[in-house]
Chains A and B, each alone.
Chain A
Amino acid sequence: MSARRGGNTIRGPQSALTDFLAANNISARQIRDDYTRRRQLPGEGEDAGEGPSNQAVEQDGDEALAVAAQAEEDEKKTNKRKRSEKDAIENIKKAKSAKTGKGNAKKAAKKKAKKEDPDLDDSDDEDFEVNYKKAKPAPGQFEHCDICSKRFTVTPYSKEGPDGGLLCTPCGKDLMKDLKKEEKALQPKTIGRKRRKVESERLDGVATGGAKTLVQMCLQRVAQHHDDVEELGDLPPKLLERLSEIFSKKRVMKSKTLPLFLRPDLDSVVVHDAAYLEEDDYHQIFAVVPNIKKLVLSNTCQLKDKSMDYMLDRCHNLRHISLYAANLVSEEMWHRLFQKAGSKLEVIKLKWLDAAFEDEAVRDMVQCCPNLERLKLKLCRRLGQDSVDYIAQLPALKHLSLQISQQVSNDTLINLIEQRGSNLETLSLEKFMDADDAVLEAIHDTCTHLTKLRLSENDTITDSAFAALFTAWPNPPLTFADFNSTRDVDNNNPTGPEEAIGLGTAGFAALMAHSGASLKHLDIASCRFIALSAFLDVFNGAQSYPALEYINLSFCNQVDTSVVAGIFTSCPGLKRVVAFGCFDVRDVVVPGGIALIGIPTAQDAIEQFGVGIGVEEAIGRMVEVGA
């Protein structure tokens, strides 16, 4: 234990002011002593009356004390301490005036009048004096709030108000919130962040160049203030859907905001992010919108049997069901769903079902849903080959999209295509790694109404099979073609096998020859065995592809700048070009209205937007740069 010199280590309770003054090396007693001493020198002229108890007398006495105190201050203290002491005095004064507000109106008025100039303030001293007795209360004691004058218990966390007194907890919280907001407003937002936001919005499909639409801006504002929106009024359904998309994107689709989108007259409910919705919310959906025809719920992790039951009881008009990640729904419930509502169902889209939904459920579905036109089953882990066989029996099927993780034999696929191909308008087979040339042959022979064809992630089908598909194919030109990641994957053989696998030179040429006229969306990402010559032939500037709006050339590393220039020239309606991993493309000048995404240049952004220059000018500039 350290021995303290001076003997007397026991100190009684001290007022906060004394503590403060002591901390700044100001001795209150010394000031008083000096004052009394000085008072005695000039004699009369100042009234005696130090008595702190009587406030009326205090004032005069305080005046004198103030003068003395001020003199002392001026002499002894540095500027800093003066200021801090002035602040202390201000604080005390405010605290005091708050307390004695009702007591002495005149004095308070006088104080207020002199608030600005503490140097001349005669009432300073009064507080100074009085605060000897009643300083800032210690924690545990009662105090009146500066702002709302309510009584509250002082804690170590009590915030100080602008007038110097303490605030009750709610007022303190508000004050902190305001301060925080001010701070945030003062922070300069970096230019980089703003530009990034602008570009990100452009990628979301908002117009390139020029101002945003008023609708867009209003939607953003509503989404920004989602907390304060009480009701959405009479918004037309299309706007309501767009708004629900934005809410889902910002992850604010919760129990509180969901009712905004539910109206009895609606016939569709689209919630792209239902992760926060619970049982009651689902019940609310089905209760408020009983005539629902289209139900789209993505990320419906909390959808359970009970809610499905509720839905089946109330909603008898369901035509379109799209449930992604509804993993708490049991197998029996799926059966019940198809049995009860199946007769009217036209669209079923199910993704991400890991726990339940077996082949038998698909069998039930096929049996109970004769009107099914659109079917999408992706990433349902328990489905296998049998499901495909069952699906082959759906009479009205027009749009089929499958991604099945288990093995599916080629014969099954061929059977499916032969059975249903003639009616199919959309066929999407993703990640059927072992599908072979015979499948393409079947498509060639059977499908005559296809507009959208996707066959991706496959390493068996050969280039010649692709070429054969598009040669002399009675099917009219496609509008959507996606053959991404059809290539041989073998690390030991980077240049690919002799006989090209996947969409290659011949296949690509045949595809564009067949469908070039009406193709809107082309995806050939990772088809790296398409030769440069093929690209140049197809996009040679003379040929025109009027409908092409989107093209994805990512990881076709044979692509270079001239190909991109050719694309700009050949595709008058072009909107987006995605070209990640095309390292030979450099120094592209993008014409107006087109977004070029993925060209790696250190200086520019990953997205380059052409603004205001025409295609010829852009190409001209590119040639200059290249030369």
Chain B
Amino acid sequence: MAASPDYVTLVSSDDFTFVVQRSSACISPAVKRMLDPLNGFLEAKTNTVRFDNISGMVLEKVCEYFYYNEKNEGARDVTDIDFPTELCLELLMAADYLDV
């Protein structure tokens, strides 16, 4: 395993795991700081971040948002990502927590 592998794992509160690219996950400053090897957190050592306050469905949308954001970096007139309204409030809280 390389010192800073390309992919990281995000685990939700109900034990769903999502493997995403490091660059995408680090769009969230919170995740970036958690995975920064200089800080010496457990997450950085295992390249895994566990979110006990975010459920699987919400985390899935968050990962989708990571990729969507990276893909549309600097583009003009980007269409909005689609997400079910029921998920909206939880997604809002997760987004605020991750500062994304």
Contact = CB atoms under 8 A, between A and B. Distances in A.
B85 A210 contact: no
Nearest to B76: A611
A206 to B, nearest CB: 11
Contacts of A213: 95, 100
A239 B92 contact: yes
B75 to A, nearest CB: 6
A221 B85 contact: yes
A56 interface: no
Interface string B79-100: 0110101001101110110101
A245 to B, nearest CB: 15
Contacts of B65: 214
A19 B75 CA distance: 63
A379 to B, nearest CB: 36
A235 B68 contact: no
Nearest to B94: A214
Given A221-B85, A225-B85, A239-B96, A210 B74 contact: yes
Interface in A207-236: 209-215, 217-219, 221-222, 225, 228-229, 232-236
Contacts of A235: 89, 92-93, 96
B61 to A, nearest CB: 8
A476 interface: no
A391 B57 CA distance: 57
Contacts of A612: 74
Interface in B50-64: 62
Nearest to A218: B92
Nearest to A593: B74
Given A210-B69, A213-B95, A232 B74 contact: no
Contacts of B75: 209-211, 611
A217 B85 contact: no
Contacts of B93: 233-236, 239
A236 B100 CA distance: 15
Contacts of A239: 92-93, 96
A238 B89 CA distance: 14
Contacts of B92: 215, 218-219, 222, 235, 239
Contact of B80 (A209, A212, A222): A212
A427 to B, nearest CB: 36
Contacts of B74: 209-210, 592, 611-612
Contacts of B76: 209, 609, 611
A198 interface: yes
Given A232-B89, A233-B93, A211 B100 contact: no
Contacts of B3: none
A133 interface: no
Given A211-B68, A211-B72, A221 B83 contact: yes
A173 interface: no
Nearest to B88: A221
A212 B74 CA distance: 11
Nearest to B64: A214
Contact of A218 (B77, B78, B91): B91
A249 interface: no
B99 to A, nearest CB: 8
Contacts of A232: 89
A232 B80 CA distance: 23
A222 B78 contact: no
A334 B75 CA distance: 53
Nearest to A212: B80
B85 to A, nearest CB: 6
Given A211-B69, A214-B95, A222 B89 contact: yes
Nearest to A612: B74
B89 A233 contact: yes
Contact of A225 (B62, B78, B88, B98): B88
Contacts of A219: 92
A198 to B, nearest CB: 5
Nearest to A233: B89
A214 B62 contact: yes
Contacts of B73: 210-211
A195 interface: yes
A609 B76 CA distance: 9
Given A221-B88, A611-B76, A215 B83 contact: no
Contacts of B80: 212, 217
B89 A217 contact: no
Contacts of A195: 77
A210 B76 CA distance: 6
Candidate in A209, A211, A234, A238 with the most chain B CB atoms within 10 angstroms: A211
A211 B75 CA distance: 8
B66 to A, nearest CB: 9
B10 to A, nearest CB: 15
A610 to B, nearest CB: 10
A214 B82 CA distance: 11
A236 B99 CA distance: 12
A219 B89 CA distance: 8
Contacts of A221: 83, 85, 88
Nearest to A232: B89
B85 A214 contact: no
A5 B70 CA distance: 83
A213 B91 CA distance: 12
Contacts of B69: 210-211
Nearest to B28: A214
A593 to B, nearest CB: 10
Contact of A214 (B72, B77, B100): B100
Contacts of A234: 93
Given A209-B74, A209-B76, A592-B74, A214 B89 contact: no
Nearest to B66: A214
A104 to B, nearest CB: 44
Contacts of A233: 89, 93
A241 to B, nearest CB: 12
10 contacts: A195-B77, A210-B69, A210-B74, A213-B95, A214-B81, A215-B95, A217-B83, A218-B92, A236-B96, A611-B76
Interface of A: 194-195, 198, 209-215, 217-219, 221-222, 225, 228-229, 232-236, 238-239, 592, 609, 611-612
Given A222-B89, A238-B96, A239-B92, 15 more contacts: A209-B74, A209-B76, A210-B72, A210-B73, A211-B72, A213-B95, A214-B62, A214-B100, A215-B92, A218-B92, A219-B92, A221-B85, A228-B85, A229-B89, A236-B96
The 4 closest A-B pairs by CB, nearest first: A218-B92, A214-B95, A215-B95, A211-B72
